[in-house]
Every structure is written in structure tokens, then in C-alpha cells.
Structure 1
Amino acid sequence: MAILRDITKKKEMVNALKTSEKKFRNIFNNSNDAIAIYDLKGNVLEVNEIACEFTGRNRNEILQNSIIDMVSPGYRARLTEDLKQLYEDKYSIFETFILSKDGVSIPVELSNRIIEYENQTAVLSIARDITERKESERKLKESETKYREVVSSIDALFWKADVAEDGSFINTYLSPFADKLYGVEKGILGNDWAKSFSYVHPDDLPGLFQKLNEIIKERYSLNNYEYRVIRPDGTQLWVYEKAISNVNSEGAVQIFGTTVDITELKTIHDELVVERDLAQKYFDVAKVIMLVLNTNGNVVQINKKGCEVLGYEEEDIVGKNWSENFLLEYFREQVEKQMEYLLSNNKKKIEYHENPILNSVGEERWIAWNTSILSNKNGDIEGILCSGQDITERKLFEENLVDAKITSELANRSKSEFLANMSHELRTPLNSVIGFSDVLYNETFGELNEKQRKYTENIHKSGQNLLKIINNILDLSAIEARTTELNCETFFFSDVLKEVRKNMIPLATQKNISIDIDTEDMILMNGDKNKVIQILNNLISNAIKFNNNDGSILIKAQNIDNEINISIMDTGIGIPEKEIEKLFDPFYQIDGSTSRDYGGNGIGLALVKYFVGMHKGDVWIESQEGIGTEVHIKLPAEQKIASRIVN
């Protein structure tokens, strides 16, 4: 009799166990770290080949020892405590020292875990050699120690802080020199930045905080600055500081800096600056009159150029009072007041004035003076340094120029008055001619034949053109005679623009030219309405006159920041670039020949410029030949005075 039992699953489990154990052995023996398995009493149950190489022992030697015996004597008690904690936590990592066979202590990092091994609870420990890491840590510690020793031996303050999100300084550090710099007992400051700021001069503290904030914002940019420190004993120091900010690996903003005492250097520098400035002033004026006066106005020193202009020897000048001996009597009081003002106000800048002096032969010589005070290192005024240039010939030229200008203005005014009078004389009979021609043209006294109508129309148009010319001459003459005023009123600019367009449509229709307006309806303006209309009439009539048949004109206007911006753009013949600047000159015309194609008298644009200027506005032209012209005008929407005479 036989009993059969299916052991397939058992066989599979055995095979799986063998496979798992094989994998474990493979990992165990091929690991780069030393691995040991020991029971809860510390008896070593198994080690890999790396552990043998690591300790310098063979496998049997290690298996005959306790794991405690493998650790350096000084760390065995700590290991025992760590293993007890491991039994509770099941997993731990700590550092210790393994003792090799030849007695060398090797630093390792132990990773420990409780496992089941061969049907018993055991500990699996993986030891990683951290000799290089420990050496790096040792060197870093030595470096930090040396750095602190160097910092402590240098007469400079080293500081550092982290910048919190609210802008405050945290985790601050001040090197030991801080106590010496601020003149306090050792340890008083510590790393307290707030206390260190209390020693900064009150006038310099706002600027210091502003500079620190700029440094924090300008990452990785080295900045330097100076400020004053007041010690508890009242001593004032000048310090020089360099600082930079960055962002560390954790994303925190940090600021670093050094501070050194430059009080002595500052004093020396200030003295050198005074001496240099004095020497430079002497050098700068060496080729002109160079004169030094004391606070009483007596001559201390004068150069050869000064002696040459005055006509005296140096010994005849030095020691004498400048005002009493070398100035004209009617100028003495003025010059003395200038000197008193210069001395009393302790003005650092150079003052300029002109006055005549009297030379040895009684001749007046006009001198242009540059004067500056002379101070010692304590800031006390010691005198006045004067450099002067003989401008007598220039003065004579200026006087002649003024006389010529007055003569020219009188002649120009006479011309304007003559033109105004003549224009008035011409306009009176011309109005009669225009009026009667208008009566005839309208056939008030009877019908006209075709020839009579044509001649009457020509008389009427020619009269109107001549009247327009005379009116322009009158306006120009009034401007040059300075009798033109602004009569300001408030009006809608868009209404004026539409009115002018309406009046210009018949003229534009003759050449089939379209006139379009692009403007806001509610543009208010305070100004001389009649002059604004005249400005627009002149510009739009020019745009029609110089436009091509079937052309177009676009007028734009808008109020930008209480300023009315106007542009008049046409599709006409354009203007040569070299001629644009001259267009606003009175009577100037591009085509000046007697057989001009477009007519005109060169007054319209001149009046436009004058009237725009009276409104404190601006006008300019942009143009391209063969493409067209665009005139730009800017006029203030409001005038500050009701009326004003143009200058």
C-alpha cells in the first residue's frame, strides 16, 4: 500500500528560497561597503569580503569576535547604547570608528537594521568609510579657525547678515574688531546690528540705510560708501565701507561687508585737496591777472600780468588797499559790497563780475573777474583769489554794437510805420474799388454782357487779393511795431475749424480737392479767436494752393494734456528739405521769380509763426517733395493772461 502526496508547491517554495538566498549572497558579497550580520549579543554571524579587506582580518578571525571588539575602545560604550536604541527603533544610522587589525581607527558611518537571519533575530550593519569626509571637515574647521584668527588680527570690521522677507536683518555677525572701531568694551556689541547703528552719525544714518537697501536690490554688485561714526566718548570717525549681496543655495538673501577707519586718511586727503585746489587756481589763471587779497582787501600777491595791466611794479602794489588805490571812485562801493558778500556768505563757488580799474597813467581798463575765497584746513577764510581778464576792447565793441542795434531798431520801426501808413492809404480807395465792382457784378444798375461780367469779376478778385496782401502787411507791421495784442476768449476749437473749412470749400472745389476733418467736438480753447482763424486760413489756403488737382487735405486736432495738437496734411508738391527752415521768414518764397506758378507774397507763414508764438505755442513743417506737406501746431488750451503785446 502506498500513499502519494503532491509536493509541487513545497518544491517551488524551496527553489524560490534558494533563488532568494542566492541573490542575497550575490548582493552581500559584491557590495562596495563593508557588511556584517551579528546577533543581539554582538556575536558576528557573517561578513562580506569588503569587511575583511576593510579591517585587515579574514572571515574566520572576524566570526570569532564580538562586533563590540571591532570598534575602537573609546567608542565601544557609545556603540552599546546605540545598539540598545536600535532594538527599539529597528533602524538607525550613526558614526563610529572601526579598529583594524593593525590598530588603525577608521571613521565609518553605520547603517543598522533588525532582520531575521537563519531563524533568529539579528542586526544587519553596513559600514561606509568616511575617512575623506572627516578629513574635509577637519580641514574646513582648521580653515574657519584660521579665518577667524586672520579676521581678528586685521584692523577692519567684517560683518554679515541675512535679509528677512520684511527687509530686516537677521542672523547678523560682527567681527571682534567692532568693539575697537566703535570704542566700546569687549563683548558689548556682540552681533547686535541695531546697537552698532546707534553709533552712526544721525545725519548719515538715512543715507546708510538707503545704500544698504540699494545693495540688497543690486545683487552681486560691489558698492562702496563713506559715513561718520560717533563713539561714546564723543570722538568722531570717518569710515569706508564695501558691501555686496547675494542669494545662497537655500534662496536666502545675504549681505556681506567690511568697514575700515579712514579718519586719518580723510584728514590728509582734505589737506591735499586744499593745497591742490590752490595750486590749480594759480595755474588756471597764470595767463591772466592773478590777484590775492586778504580779508581787509589789501593786496597780498599779484602776478606779472597784473603788474603789466596796472603799469606798476609789484612792490608798488603789494600791501596797498585794492579798492582805495586801483578802483575808480564811483565803482568802489559796489566792489566792496561784492567782497563783503563773498566773505560773509563763505561761498565756495566762483563769483563773476566786471568792473573798471585805473592804471598808472589814469586810463580806465575794464576787467572781467572770477573770484573765490581762500580757506585754510580748518575752514577759516584767509582771503580772496581773483583772476581777471582785460575786456576793454570787448566793452568798446559791445557799446558800438548796442548803438548799431538801437539804430537798426529805429529804422525797422520807421519802416513798419511807413508800411502801415501806406497800407491804410491804399486800403481806403481799394475798398471803394471792391465795393463798386461788387455792385456792378451783381448787376444792381443793369445787366452786363459776358465780356463786362468777366472784366468786373477780374476787378473784384484782384481787389480782394490786393486787400488781403495789404491786411497781411498791416498785421506784420503791427507785430514788428509791437502793438499787436491778444484778445482772448473761450470758444470751441472744433467750431472754428468747421467754419474755416466751410469758407475754404469754394477755393478747394476749383481744383477738385477734398478737405476732411478728424477732431473731437468738445475741444475748448481760450485764446484770440480771430488770430486762430487767420492761422488756419493761411495754412489751409497754402495747402490748397500748392496741392495737385484731385488732391486731398486732412486736418486733425486733439487735446493732449491741456495742449491742442493740430496737423494739416496735404498731397501737394512738397517742399525741398533745405527750404523748410526759411519758410517762416517774412517775404521769403521758394520760387522768387517774377513768373511764379503759385503766386503769394511770403507773409502768410510769417504771420502764422508770430500768432502761434503769441499764444506760447509751436509750429513746424514736415515735407517730402512730390508726396506732400504736413504742418504741425501746438497751442496751449488756456492763456495765463487775457491779452499780451507780442515782443
Structure 2
Amino acid sequence: MDESITKELESLKQKVAELEKKLKWSESFLNEILGMTNVIVVHLDLNGNVVLINKAVERITGYASDEIIGKNWFSTLVPKERYPHVWQLFESFKAKGEVVEHFENPILTKDGEERIISWRNSTLKRDNEIIGTLSFGIDITESLYILDQFVDQQRSYKALIDNLPGIIYRCKNDESYTMVRISDKCFNITGYKSEDFISKKISFGELILDEDKKSIQKQIDEAISLNKPFQITYRIKTKDGNIKWLWEQGISILDENNTYLEGYIIDITEKIKAEEQLELQREFFKQLFENSPIGIVILDKYDKIIDVNEAFQKLFYFNREEVIGLSINQLIVPPDLKSEGLNLSNKVLNDEVVITETKRMRKDGTLVDVLVIGYPILHKGERVGIFGMYKDITEQKKVYEMLKQEKEKIEELNQLKSSFLFNISHEIRTPLNSILGFSDLLIGELADSQLNDLKEFAESIKRGGIRLLNLMDNIIEISLIESSKTELNLEKLNVIMVLDPVVNSFESVASEKKLTIEKDYQSDFEILTDAKRLALVFRNILDNAFKFTDRGGVKVRTYKKSESDTRSLGVIEIIDTGIGISEKFMAKLFEPFTQESTGLNREYEGIGLGLNLSKRLIEILNGKIEIESKSEKGTKVRIIFNLED
């Protein structure tokens, strides 16, 4: 029996030894695995003290096992003041006995570096009692960094896509161009949102105009067959009904199930419109260039001919092919005008516009009178050529010469007329003065007689003589002005000293017509003038005022008026209450030999020289004359002089 027990004990010892051997091997194997793995293994007791760690903890934290085991994990690696939420989780575990199975939190390594650990946690029990926690952790710091980089790249990519002016897309190569991916810029171009295309609420193919669809598919198919990118231009109808031109560049992506298209689309509507407008302008210029009756030449910046139009060829007898590339000055400028031609070219090359009349030489050597116009051609502010025009003015020259000769004849006749009028006025003036003298004697002799008819006859002779004498004075002045022989006797004069005697000379006329004369000399002022000519102006204007006034009277005013701080005006106004002037006749008021009432039955005397002469004399005396009048409302004549300070 003892032997049997002994054998049993020996057997048990062998089994225990084998189990211990296996256990040691298992522990060794487990320790080997735990040592080799990059997964952190941490066993904490209920107080958070470290019971067990593996080599990965040492590698990641920088602490040796003897620096951690037995120490509080949280105090060592997760400072409370920095990571309070981690402490709160462990305190919750201690209170409730439940761990958070998965969470991520940072730890501080021995050298102060922060590492992010992703944990898997479980509770450890003995005899059904919790004795601590067992946690497996993976260092995800680099992974998070890579993820952040990826997110940043995605964000940058999205920002890039969103800020591109066109559409980035991926679609199926089917009739509808079914979109798999399309950027948000599609809304700006089509009026539809990206989700409208992705959800198939609308297909891109539906937007393309029917007449463009076949051409698009043909170009895409050809590009796919050659394994090349495609570039296509087509039109779509947007959501709001507008037609837009699009330019698309893409490439086919082949997989085992479908062929996809990827590419970029931009709106080129404005570009197409600009090109159409440019083409229209080109065509307009081409037709203007070819059909212009004026010879046109286009030169480069070296004065060489680039092109000429039909009119240029006809004007100078050259064919276009003969002149391209030749110097314009060598081609059509006569030898004796070479310097002139070079000077004109230099002016245009210095950005001047030249317009001149000159002569140019045809292919057969004959000369032609031309009007030359030269413009610099500028591109982005830089001179790139010259635009020249040549107009044949041979006929105009002939007409000009003829008109010049006619003008000279007219001027000669005008001189003869002026001389004739001047001479005849002098010839008439001499006997007229005699007649006036005898009429004065006759009036004096008859003053005390009862021969009233004879007295009236003598006074009529005197009035007619004075009127004729005034007419002669006007004619002489007109003749002097037209022959440029007016000689002024300028002196500083008080205007009232010239004006008042003339006004007084009309007292007998006013008395005879029962008209009033009102003098309102508010200011006297001096001007540099010719007393004789100024008095003649006053006499002509007053003569009209009394002639055309039957009721009321004539008012004469003088005053000064400030035009600015440094300039003042002297004004003379002659105002009547006569018949006035119609609005229609005002435009002809200063024309010589014109009167509102004409013909043999006209009511008022005169030949229409007074106002014309007055205006011309006032302008010679550096003044100006203004007239305000309405029919049946009287007339105001205003004479204005600048006064010296």
C-alpha cells in the first residue's frame, strides 16, 4: 500500500513538473509575445497602481519597468491638472465597478512628449471580485497625424475645387452623362445644384442642345479609341432658359464594368460673344477697308507696306502684289518731297496724327493732289504700325482755285464798291452841306414871317438833308470798315460827355412826336474810345428808338455792374416803348440793308444800315451790343464795355 501511494505521489510529481514546465513555457511564450508586440499592456490595481506592464510601455513612455511598476499610472503619465477627464473616468470605475471599454486619451512620456493612445479596457476579477483593470493600448499618434494631414488635404482639395471657376466632374459615358461626382460650381453655370445631378433629378445630357449632342459623342468616342483626352465645345440650356457655351476637357476612365469620363467644364459664353464681336469688327473693318472710296494703306512700324485697299491701287496705278513690303516713301513720294514724306512718317511714329494736303506720285510718274491722313496704330500702348489714308483732291483743288479767284474778284469789286461809295459820299456831302447851309439861312429869314408853308418847306429840306447826311456818314463808315481802312482816334473819355449831347439833339424830334426823354445817368465812367464813332453809334440807336416809337418815350440809362471781384462793366441802355421787333426778325437784326417792314408801302424810312454799322463799330471799340425786344412791347438796346480797374 505504501508502495502504491509512493508511486501515485511520484506520478503526481511528474505531472506537476510537466504542468510547471508547460506553465513556464506559456509564461515565457506570453512574455515573449508581450515583449515583441507594439500593443501596450497595462495591469492596474483598484488604486491605479501599476501591477504589470510589457516592453511596449517602456518603448513608448521612455520609462523602465522599475520606474513604473508599483507607481500610480495616472500620477506618472496622466497628470490630473492636465488631463482631469481621464482621472474622472477611473474614479467612476472605482465607484461603479464598470470600465469604459474603449476610449482615447493622451499620455506624457518621460521626456514630456504627448502621445495619443487608443485603449481597450476590461476588469480583472478573482473569486468574482474585481481586483483591477487590464488595458491594451495602441499608439495612434502618427495615425492621427496622417489622418489630420489627409483631412487637411481633403479640405484643401475641396477648397480648390470650390474656388475653380468651372465644374470638376466624374460621370458615366452614357447618353445622360450620369454624374457620379460633380463640384458645387455647377450651380453657377447651369442653375442646378450638384445634388440635383447626383440624385438624377436632372441629367447633364438633358441640358445639352439636341443639335450639339451627336458632335459631342463623336468627338468623345474618337478620343477614347485613340486613348487621348478630348476637348469639346457645345451649348446648354440653363435652368432659367438661357443658352450658354461650354468648353470641356476630359479623359475616359475604363474599368471592368463601365467607362467613366472625368474632366473639367468652364463657361465660355462671354468669350464666344467677344470672339463673335471681334469677328464682326474684323468683317466691318475688312469691308470698310476694301470698299472705302479713299485709298488706305497699312504700314508696319518700319514704314513698310502691309496691305493696301482697292481705292489705293486705283489712285496710284499699282497692284497689291507690287507694293507689299515696300517703303511708302520710296513708292509714292516725289523726289522733291522726300523730306516732307519722311517728316510726316516721323510725326506719326511719334504718336501724332497728321492731316495735310500735298502731292504724291503715281506709278506712271504723274503727280496727284491728295489729302494725307496718318494715324499711329497702337496695341497695349505700344506703337505697332501706321494707318494711312489718301484722298484724291484734284477736283477740290480746281474748285478751290476757282473759288479763290472768284473771292479775289469779289474782294476787288468790294474794294471798288467801297471806294465808289466813299467817293460818292464825299461828292454828295459837299453840295449837301451847301443845301443845309442855305436851308438854315432860309429858316432864319422866314422866322418872323407869316409864310408858314414856306417855313415848313425849308424845315423839311433841312430834315431831309440831315437824314441824308447821316446816311452818308454811315455809308462812309461801312466803306472804311469793309476796306479795312478804319483809323481810330482813341482817347480816355467820360461816356456821358459823348452820350448826353447826342440825346439832347433828339429833343426837337421828341417834341414834334410828343414823346418823353428820360435820362437816368446812375454812374459816369471812362473808357478808351473814339468819340466820333461812339457818338455815331448812339445817334443810330436813338434814331431807331424815336423813329419806331409813336407813344410813350425813350429812356437812356448808364450804370456800372460788377462782373467779378476784379472785373466791372460799364453799361449804356436805350429803352423805347415803340413797336418792338418780332421774334422771327430777331435773327436778321444785324444784317445790312434789312428791315422788318419792306416794299414801297413800308411805314418807316431808312435803308437798314444803322444796327449793322453800330454792332461793327462797337466790336471795333472792344464792346458788345445786346438787344431785347418783343413785338408791340418796345425795345431795349444794351451797350457794354469792360472797365479798367
Q: For this structure pair, what is the TM-score category when the shorter chain's length is used for normalisation?
A: 0.5 to 0.7
- The answer to whether structure 1 residue 601 and structure 2 residue 603 are counterparts is no
Which among 329, 338, 346 is matched to residue 332 of structure 1?
A: 338
Aligned to 2:480: 478
**SS in structure 1 of the partner of residue 375 of structure 2:** strand
Match of 2:308 in 1: 302
User: What are the within-5 Å matches in structure 2 for residues 391-406 of structure 1?
Assistant: 391-406=393-408
Q: What SS does structure 1 have at the residue aligned with 2:410?
A: helix
Partner in structure 1 of residue 194 of structure 2: none
> Does the CA-based 8 Å contact 1:523-1:559 persist in structure 2?
no
Aligned match of 2:377? 374
- CA distance in 1 between partners of 2:560 and 2:541 (Å): 18
Give the conservation status (yes or no) of the 8 Å contact 1:323–1:335. Answer: yes
**Aligned equivalents of 1:560 and 1:538: distance in 2?**
28
Mapped to 2, the partners of 1:424 and 1:552 lie a distance apart of: 33
Tell me how far apart the structure 2 counterparts of residues 508 and 567 of structure 1 sit (CA, whole Å). Answer: 18
Deviations 1:541-571 (A, max 9, x none): 2111101234443535433333333332211
1:357 Cα deviation (Å)? 1.9
Alignment correspondent of 2:359:
356
Query: For residues 459-512 of structure 1, what are the alpha-carbon distances to aligned partners after superposition, in whole Å with 9 as ceiling and x for unaligned?
Result: 322222221111111111111111113322222223333333222222212222
Structure 1 position 573 matched with structure 2 position 575: no
- Give the partner amino acid of 1:461: R
1:193 aligns to what?
Answer: none
Structure 2 residue aligned with 1:493: 495
Structure 2, unpaired ranges of 5+: 1-84, 86-154, 165-275
Go from structure 1 to structure 2 and tell me whether the alpha carbon gap of 1:637 and 1:530 turns closer, same or farther (over 3 Å shift): farther
**Contact 1:543-1:553 at 8 Å conserved across structures:** no
Question: Taking structure 1 as reference, are residues 438 and 583 closer, same or farther at Cα in structure 2, changes over 3 Å only?
Answer: same
Map 1:406-421 → 2, pairs under 5 A: 406-421=408-423
User: In structure 1, what is the Cα distance between the partners aligned to 2:582 and 2:536?
Assistant: 25
1:627 deviates by 1.9
2:508 is matched with 506
Deviation of the 1:538 alpha carbon: 1.0
Q: For residue 360 of structure 1, give the secondary structure of its aligned residue in structure 2.
A: coil
How much identity, in percent, do the aligned residues show?
28
Aligned runs of 1:305-324 on 2, under 5 Å? 305-324=311-330
Pair 1:547–1:305, CA change in 2 (3 A): same
Question: Aligned partner of 2:427: which letter?
Answer: E
Q: Aligned equivalents of 2:537 and 2:644: distance in 1? A: 17
In structure 2, what is the Cα distance between the partners aligned to 1:380 and 1:437? Answer: 85
Tell me if structure 2 keeps the 8 A contact 1:618–1:634. yes
Report the secondary structure of 2:506's partner residue: helix
**CA–CA distance in structure 1, aligned partners of residues 491 and 309 of structure 2:** 65
Provide closer, same or farther for how the CA distance between residues 445 and 633 of structure 1 changes in structure 2, counting only shifts above 3 A.
closer
Alignment partners' CA distance in 1, 2:510 and 2:562: 30
Q: Which protein shows a greater Rg?
A: 2
The aligned counterpart of 1:553 is 555
Structure 2 counterpart of 1:613, one-letter code: E
1:63 corresponds to which residue? Answer: none
Q: Deviations over 1:40-68 (max 9, x none)?
A: xxxxxxxxxxxxxxxxxxxxxxxxxxxxx
Equivalent position amino acid for 2:338 in 1 = R
Which whole-Å CA distance do the structure 1 matches of 2:635 and 2:382 have between them?
66
CA distance in 2, matches of 1:398, 1:519: 54
1:630 to 605, 614, 636: 636
Change (3 A) 1:624 1:522: closer
How far apart, in 2, do the equivalents of 1:410 and 1:613 lie?
25
Task: Answer yes or no: is the 8 Å Cα contact 1:513–1:553 preserved in 2.
Answer: no
> Shift in Å at residue 372 of structure 1?
2.0
Q: 1:376 to 1:458 in 2, by over 3 A?
A: closer
Q: Which amino acid aligns with 1:443?
A: E
- Residue 284 (structure 1) shift: 5.5
Distance 2:390 2:360 in 1: 11
Q: Would you say the 8 A contact 1:615–1:636 is kept in 2? A: no
Alpha-carbon distance, 1:621 to partner: 2.6
Letter in 2 for 1:487: N
Alignment of 1:444-459 (within 5 A): 449-459=451-461
Q: Which residue of 2 aligns with 1:520?
A: 522
The CA deviation at 1:355 is 2.2
CA contact (8 A) 2:570 2:640 kept: yes
Q: Read off the aligned partner of 2:557 and give its amino acid letter.
A: I
Paired residue secondary structure (1:626): coil
What is the deviation of 1:282?
A: 6.3
Aligned partner (choices 588, 594, 616) of residue 594 of structure 2? 588
Measured after TM superposition, the shift of residue 315 of structure 1 is 1.9
Equivalent position amino acid for 1:572 in 2: G
What amino acid maps onto 1:439 in structure 2?
L
Tell me the secondary structure at the aligned position of residue 607 of structure 1: helix
Tell me how far apart the structure 2 counterparts of residues 570 and 491 of structure 1 sit (CA, whole Å): 26
Hey, what's the Cα distance between the residues in 2 that align with 1:496 and 1:589? 28
In the alignment, is the contact (CA less than 8 A) between 1:427 and 1:467 conserved in 2? Answer: yes
Residues 61-76 of structure 1 aligned to structure 2 (within 5 Å): none
Give, in whole Å, the separation in 2 of the partners of 1:631 and 1:522.
Answer: 18
Quote the offset at 1:380 in angstroms: 5.2
Which of 442, 445, 456 is 1:443 aligned to? 445
Q: Which one-letter code corresponds to 1:477 in the other structure? A: S
TM-score (norm 1): 0.52
**1:82 equivalent in structure 2:** none
TM-score, structure 2 normalization:
0.52
Letter matched to residue 434 of structure 1: L
Cα distance, 1:421 vs structure 2: 0.8
Amino acid of the residue matched to residue 465 of structure 2? Answer: G
Runs of 4+ in structure 1 off by over 6 angstroms are: 272-283, 444-448
Give SS of 2:502's match: helix
The 2-side partners of 1:400 and 1:556 are apart by 51
Query: C-alpha separation between the residues in 1 aligned to 2:281 and 2:387?
Result: 11
Distance 1:529 1:279 in 2: 69
CA distance in 2 between counterparts of 1:626 and 1:382 reads 68
Question: What is the aligned partner in structure 2 of residue 132 from structure 1?
Answer: none
Counterpart of 1:370, as a letter, is I
Alignment partner of 1:601: what SS? coil
Residue 577 (structure 1) shift: 1.8
String of CA shifts for 1:228-273, please: whole Å, max 9, x gaps: xxxxxxxxxxxxxxxxxxxxxxxxxxxxxxxxxxxxxxxxxxxx99
Q: Is the 8 A contact 1:274 1:376 kept in 2?
A: no
Range with greater deviation from structure 2 (291-300 or 440-449)? 440-449
Contact 2:522 2:557 in 1 (8 A): no
How far did 1:572 drift? 0.8
Distance 1:448 1:437, change over 3 A: farther
| One-letter amino acid of the counterpart of residue 635, structure 1 | F
Query: How far off its partner does 1:304 sit?
Result: 2.0
Q: Note the alpha carbon deviations across 1:134-153, whole angstroms, 9 max, x for none.
A: xxxxxxxxxxxx9xx999x9
* SS of 1:585 mapped into structure 2: coil
Aligned pair count reads 375
The answer for the alignment partner of 1:222 in structure 2 is: none
Quote the residue 2:240 is aligned against.
Answer: none
Q: 1:552 to 1:461 in 2, by over 3 A?
A: closer
Report matched runs for 1:212-251 at 5 Å: none
- Matched residue type, 2:374: T
Give the aligned CA root-mean-square deviation in angstroms.
3.7
